[in-house]
Amino acid sequence: MAELTPVLDAAGVNALLRKAFPDAVPAAFPTVLEVAPGRVRVMAPYREGLLRPGGVISGPTLMSLSDTAAYALVLAHIGDQLMAVTSSLTMNFLRGAKPGDLHAEAQMLRLGRRNAVCDVRLWTEGPDRLAAQAVVTYALPQ
C-alpha cells in the first residue's frame, strides 16, 4: 500500500476524540501518543475496575481500546469525520494482560472510499509481549 499521509497530529486527534465523547472521564480516556503515516500509538491509563477474575485486564477493556485506537487512526488520516463507525471488530486474545497502562499500536491495512481496515496490537508489558490483536473495520461517511 502507498504510504498514507496523516491530516492530523496527535493533539488534533485527541481534540477530535474529546469532541466525539464529551462525557468521557478525562483521566480514564485513552490518549493518542503518536501519529505517523499509516499508524498511531495510543495509551489508556490503568485504573481500578479493569481487572477480571484471575487478575488480568478484562476482554471488554481490550476490545474498547482496540476500537478507540482504530477510530483514532481513521480520524488521523481522514480528519473531522466523526460519523465513521465500526462495522467489524475481530479480537484475538493472546495472553493475559497484566495490570498496568494499556498500550495499542494501530496500523492501516487499507484506506478506501467506503471503509478502512486496521490492525491493532495491544500490550501492558511491552510490544514484544502482545496481550491481544484485533482487526477493526470502519465504515466511512459518504
Q: Could you tell me if 72 and 13 are in contact, meaning their C-beta atoms sit under 8 angstroms apart?
A: yes
Question: Chain centroid to CA 68: how far?
Answer: 4
- Mean pLDDT across 56-64: 97
* Global model pTM greater than 0.85: yes
> Residue 91's CB: how many other CB atoms inside 10 A?
17
pLDDT recorded at residue 1:
53
φ and ψ of 113, to 5 deg: -75, -35
The percentage of residues in the chain with a pLDDT greater than 70, rounded to a whole number, is 99
Spatial neighbors of 46 by CB under 8 A, at least 6 apart, are: 99, 100, 101, 102, 124
Shortest CA distance to 27 belongs to which of 57, 49, 3, 6?
Answer: 49
The mean pLDDT value of the chain amounts to 96
